[in-house]
A and B are shown apart, each in its own frame.
Chain A
Amino acid sequence: MSRVARTVVALGVLLALGQTSCVQVHAYERGRLAHHTMVPDDGASPSLDHVYAVHEGASGGDLQATAGCGCN
């Protein structure tokens, strides 16, 4: 099995495990989940994100286009 296939299978297993670990949460119980700090990227600083992208050689690999480094 290729590395990519193994990765896809592992992700599938993770998703399945994650689904079984979730409990039902009714709409009226989602007050805390709706808090702005629970939302990924809420309040993210574009300038700080850009600093990380320039400082860390492992940046990238996501869909957010932060094109150009301003540093070349």
Chain B
Amino acid sequence: MGAIDRQATARWPLGAWIAASIALAWPSTSRADPSRPGLLDAITKKARGEIAFYGDTDSVQVFTSAWKATVDNPVSGWSANGSYLVDVVSAASVDIVSTASSHWTEVRQAGTLGANYKPGAIGVGITGAVSREPDYLSLSAGGRLSFDVHDKTVLPTVGYSYGHDTAGRTGTPFSVYSLDLTRHAFDLGSEFVLDRSTTLSLNASFLLERGDQEKPYRFLPLFSPAVAKAIEPGASIALVNNERLPGRIAEHLPNRRNRFALSGRFARRLARATFIVNERVYADDWGLKASTTDMHLVFDVGGRLEIAPHFRGHVQSSVDFWRLAYSAVVSTDGVLDVPLYRTGDRELSALSSGTLGIGFRYRVLPLATPWSLVVGLRSEVMATIFHDALFVRDRKAYLNAVDAEIEF
């Protein structure tokens, strides 16, 4: 985090703006059209809230509160939704400690607005999103076309979104210092209804990123070539500080990144259970390759309770320019010779991670009632092994979340 104290100043106009937008978009009975009786009866309104706590062995804690509202009219084919999320992050991770910076707390707020209209075999959807931290602003907007073909057994979609991120330093206006990043995301996929109980979804995504992705607070230790070779994964802060050259160097990443992912989702509904498996393979031109497998089993227990164990596994290679210890040489004329691209982002190194979790979902009101109220509880434990990183060899984390959803 550098030496800058990042005590957050929570601001709420974003939340107020989103709440007002949702309220304006929310249909009321006063808008009923008497010439179209029964149309508004088909409107369903859904609201969902979630509160979650995250903690890990790297001294990072996150409190998250997320809210989402949706109105949907399946008869005329339109729907609208909005969401608001606030994260409170408290961190004293090894990366912060190693640079002699102080513990920091930060608030992130994010919101989305979306609308969909699908009166027949072709539908269109739009979405917009904003996320703001004291030193980071991200804006994005996108659209998606969806189709029903082959008697609604093949459901292709194609989409595009544009995003722009601005990263800065806390307390410094973007006009004085900022890093800009633009993102173009293309998405092509389809869901296939294989039989009356089974679906398969295939999706291809391209993400083109252009601009600065360096973290302004991230500075890396440098070593002489001989010492760099001797540094081992998990080397302690004390050892690194003892062996490194004086000073630190800022992270520097390529200004172009092309990312590609193929994903599939297989879901089969049995009499009293659902089996869902997702597989995603990923590659980018920074050299990172990854595979992610995510499985859920949802069991019906009685008429109201669902229990859903969950497993996720993720493996990835490092980016091409990743080095456990970057070496530097000072030439005879005093010029520092260091690798052009260098990063201290541990998530760009080779790693393996696994997640085990269980979720509970309980329908509070019986099916016969016009309202639906569902409460949920989720608990996940995660372990990550870093194969080639300084300071830590592994990270263990947990996430506990409670949520409630009401529909009427």
Contact = CB atoms under 8 A, between A and B. Distances in A.
> Bound pair: A and B?
yes
B190 A58 contact: no
Interface stretch (B36-44, B199-207, B234-242): B199-207
Interface string B138-153: 1110101000011111
Contacts of A66: 110, 129, 131
B274 interface: yes
A48 B261 contact: no
Contacts of B150: 19, 22
A15 B68 CA distance: 33
Interface in B118-136: 127-133, 135-136
B324 interface: no
Interface residues of B, number: 108
B202 A60 contact: no
Given A61-B259, A63-B142, A68-B138, A37 B269 contact: yes
A68 B108 contact: yes
A56 to B, nearest CB: 5
B328 interface: no
Interface string A37-72: 110100101111011101111101111011111111
Q: Taking chain B's interface residues, is the majority helix, strand, or loop, or is none over half, making it mixed? A: strand
Contacts of B191: 40
Interface in B294-351: 296, 298, 306, 312, 314, 316, 319, 345, 347-349, 351
B197 A57 contact: no
Given A7-B204, A60-B207, A47 B52 contact: yes
A68 B399 CA distance: 20
Contact of B260 (A23, A51, A56, A61): A61
Nearest to B289: A58
Interface string B262-282: 000101010000101000101
Interface in B146-174: 149-154, 156, 159-161, 163, 165, 167
Interface residues of A, number: 44
Nearest to A29: B196
Interface in B82-132: 83, 85, 87, 89, 91, 106, 108, 110, 112, 127-132
A22 B197 CA distance: 12
B261 A22 contact: no
Contact of B202 (A18, A35, A37, A68): A18
A71 B194 contact: no
B378 interface: yes
A25 B195 contact: yes
A2 interface: no
A48 B269 CA distance: 24
B296 to A, nearest CB: 8
Given A18-B200, A61-B259, A65-B129, A11 B188 contact: yes
A72 B269 contact: no
Contacts of A22: 150, 153-154, 192-194
B380 A48 contact: yes
B233 interface: no
Contact of B192 (A19, A30, A48): A19
17 contacts: A11-B204, A19-B150, A19-B192, A23-B193, A32-B196, A33-B193, A33-B269, A37-B267, A37-B276, A47-B66, A55-B382, A55-B384, A58-B316, A60-B261, A61-B261, A65-B127, A72-B136
The 5 closest A-B pairs by CB, nearest first: A67-B138, A58-B290, A65-B129, A47-B52, A67-B131
